Structure 1
Amino acid sequence: MPSASALIDAHGRTIRYLRISVTDRCDLRCRYCMSETMQFLPRDRLMSVDEMAALAECFIARGVNKIRLSGGEPLMRGDTVALAERLGTHLGRGLDELTMTTNATRLARHAGALAAAGIRRINVSLDSRDPDTFRHITRTGDLDRVLEGIAAARSAGIAIKINMVALKGLNEHEIAPMLAWCAEQGFDLSLIETMPLGAIDEDRTDRFLPLTQVFADLSERFTLERDTFKTGGPARYWKLADSSIRLGLISPLTANFCDGCNRVRMTTEGLLYLCLGQDAHVDLRSALREGGPAAVDAAIDAGMMRKPAAHAFNIAPGAAPAVSRHMSVTGG
């Protein structure tokens, strides 16, 4: 049974999972995520490591047992490792898992330090293993740097899951080979439907690929068995026969997962967003600066009552993005 201080929203869902976007900046410009020319927050509007850690510790005290560091690209920020080290001191003392989502372009130089901080599992965003396609999707990406980062993380003892956004006309022919490669490497794979967040330079409708179709195609080539495994995230999992890996499907549009949502997202400015696809939020940094942990607790409680029942994603032609903020602001 949850304790009296547990975080329970207005729909009866217990919140155990906090995602922290440590920066909105990214060194890639993925076409489905960002415009080619982006305006990022001035650096003086970013919270300090001490503030982010203090807010995270308020959540740990309220029963959150999993924290994911994300961005943007979290390793673009020079003190992200220091944040991981501080949060890592709570592992086994309220915090069960500390993870990260990264594009791995800077992972090679930081993998050892992240492992030492207590990170045992990371998600790597990788939408193509073809260098030309990868550069086209990311506009600036160097696939070799990503693969070097993945290799360094594996050498450091960090388990790896690949996140691949399914994009019609761009990488759909690579999905089955990606699953086969992950099986060879021992990496789990999660496939993700593109989400209408923030204005971009292209029409997302043209690239939307339903995972129902993808799964049907994969089922003709691989033996997939439903798995009850859960990580606290939105994916539904399948086991790949004759392999130790899992295939996850994150399908906010074709198979809504909101009824089991157990997570909230904090931006680098200290805004707590209650839903990826809605604008409801509360300002935790102001609460921390003005009233300390007690004020933060009150703000979190107010947020729990504002957490929506479901997102408002709509991928229909001509539809406006669900929210104006880009994915990098809240970290997916």
Structure 2
Amino acid sequence: MLEDKYGRRFHYLRLSITDVCNFSCDYCLPDGYQCDNDRDFLKVSEIKTLVSGFAKLGTGKVRITGGEPALRKDLCDILRVCTSTPGINHVAMTTNGFKLESDIQDWVDAGLNSLNISIDSLDPRMFASITGHNKLESILRGINKALALGIPVKVNAVLMKQYNEKELDAFLTWLKSTPITLRLIELMQTGDNIDFFNQNHVSGSAIKEKLQNSGWSQLIRDKSSGPAQEFYHPDFEGRMGLIMPYSKDFCASCNRLRISSLGKLHLCLFADQGLDIRPTLQNENDQALQQQLQALLGDKEATHWLQDGLTGATKHLAMIGG
């Protein structure tokens, strides 16, 4: 089992397969994707070794992220590798939804178990303003197709004061009859967005209080769940989640490790650097990988230090998939 010196166990791998994204969201890539590396992303054979090594150390859940993972033509091959690995019992993916409507059936056929989709506004004009694409209606149709196929869907919305802070009621109306989980995520400071962060950060604590005062009850987290505090209401088909990285003890329940698309282990989303494990992956030796991972995990710190304004090497969230 992968366990750090603070007793935290890591059942959950977030695997970025590309840092390329075709959206230009204001809080992440306002100027669009800027290629600053050789784009020599992990190959399917390397991913097979990686996932096998993690599975043998107790990881049961893999989330495929980007950038935008659907931009890789071999995405379905990667999904099949993950789902066919002994010990992996859940394969999820986070996407901007650009290809959701057209490709969801292929993803499901390849073994996808659940889906997270980024929708920061239910207003088509605001959505286009944030992302640079007029794709909201297509994405909503894609969500309906995913639900019809039996795929659990979570929708991620980053809270931003000047953009969607006043859309809570619209989101709640959507949840009244839509069986998804909406997760409102506090905007996080990165190396490239300091001014934007200062202008737009909204704390989720007031929303949590509003939910609890309106009859919403908090669910108990599963060991492989993400960091969201999740709530349900008997009168709503959908659920609400809050991800509040600036809250007290946020890191105490950390259960995931991250691998970048270039084969670097990130012990934290905001670590000072990625730790290169690619040579081990290229040797296709998952036993050596297991030993390396256990050794490197000794450097994982107790907290991300975001509360002190330290963002590490993370210039923007597309680098390693959030």
Task: Specify the code of the residue in structure 2 equivalent to 1:157.
Answer: G
SS in 1 for 2:102: helix
Q: How does 1:159-198 map to 2 (within 5 A)?
A: 159-198=152-191
> Normalization by structure 1: what TM-score?
0.90
Q: 1:276 and 2:269 equivalent?
A: yes
- CA distance, structure 1, for counterparts of residue 90 and residue 287 of structure 2: 25
Partner of 1:154: 147
Partner of 2:250: 257
Confirm or deny: 8 A CA contact 1:225 1:241 kept in the other structure. Answer: no
1:56 to 39, 42, 51: 51
Q: Aligned-pair distance for 1:291?
A: 7.5
- CA distance, structure 2, for counterparts of residue 51 and residue 41 of structure 1: 22
Cα RMSD for the two superposed structures: 2.0
Change (3 A) 1:238 1:311: same
- CA distance, structure 1, for counterparts of residue 234 and residue 11 of structure 2: 31
Change (3 A) 1:200 1:256: same
Q: Aligned-pair distance for 1:202?
A: 4.6
Q: 1:78 and 2:73 equivalent?
A: yes
Task: Specify the code of the residue in structure 1 equivalent to 2:53.
Answer: C
Q: 1:225 and 2:217 equivalent?
A: yes
% identity of equivalent residues: 31
Deviations 1:104-147 (CA, angstroms, capped at 9, x unpaired): 11112221121122222111111101011111111334212322
Q: Aligned-pair distance for 1:21?
A: 0.7
Q: 1:124 and 2:104 equivalent?
A: no
SS in 2 for 1:152: helix
Q: Aligned-pair distance for 1:151?
A: 2.4
- What 5-or-longer segments of structure 1 have no aligned partner? 1-5
1:14 to 3, 6, 9: 9
Aligned length: 321
- CA distance, structure 2, for counterparts of residue 303 and residue 157 of structure 1: 38
Decide which moves more: 211-220 or 99-108.
211-220
SS in 2 for 1:203: helix
- CA distance, structure 2, for counterparts of residue 108 and residue 291 of structure 1: 35
Confirm or deny: 8 A CA contact 1:71 1:331 kept in the other structure. Answer: yes
- CA distance, structure 1, for counterparts of residue 311 and residue 221 of structure 2: 32
- CA distance, structure 1, for counterparts of residue 303 and residue 14 of structure 2: 18
Task: Specify the code of the residue in structure 1 equivalent to 2:88.
Answer: L
SS in 2 for 1:163: strand
Q: Aligned-pair distance for 1:195?
A: 0.9
Q: How does 1:199-238 map to 2 (within 5 A)?
A: 199-200=192-193, 202-219=195-212, 222-230=214-222, 231-238=224-231
- CA distance, structure 1, for counterparts of residue 34 and residue 116 of structure 2: 25
Q: Aligned-pair distance for 1:328?
A: 1.1
SS in 2 for 1:39: coil
1:323 to 310, 313, 320: 313
- CA distance, structure 1, for counterparts of residue 133 and residue 191 of structure 2: 20
Deviations 1:245-303 (CA, angstroms, capped at 9, x unpaired): 32111100134420111110001101010011222432121222357323322221122
Task: Specify the code of the residue in structure 2 equivalent to 1:232.
Answer: S
- CA distance, structure 2, for counterparts of residue 145 and residue 31 of structure 1: 21
- CA distance, structure 1, for counterparts of residue 39 and residue 321 of structure 2: 20
Q: Aligned-pair distance for 1:218?
A: 4.1
Partner of 1:115: 108
Change (3 A) 1:227 1:37: closer
Confirm or deny: 8 A CA contact 1:35 1:201 kept in the other structure. Answer: no
- What 5-or-longer segments of structure 2 have no aligned partner? none
Partner of 1:305: 298
Partner of 2:83: 88
Task: Specify the code of the residue in structure 2 equivalent to 1:260.
Answer: S
Task: Specify the code of the residue in structure 1 equivalent to 2:202.
Answer: L
Q: 1:145 and 2:135 equivalent?
A: no
SS in 1 for 2:246: coil
- CA distance, structure 2, for counterparts of residue 100 and residue 289 of structure 1: 24
Q: Aligned-pair distance for 1:216?
A: 3.0
SS in 2 for 1:69: strand
Confirm or deny: 8 A CA contact 1:31 1:202 kept in the other structure. Answer: no
Task: Specify the code of the residue in structure 1 equivalent to 2:316.
Answer: H
SS in 2 for 1:8: coil
Change (3 A) 1:254 1:23: same
> Normalization by structure 2: what TM-score?
0.92
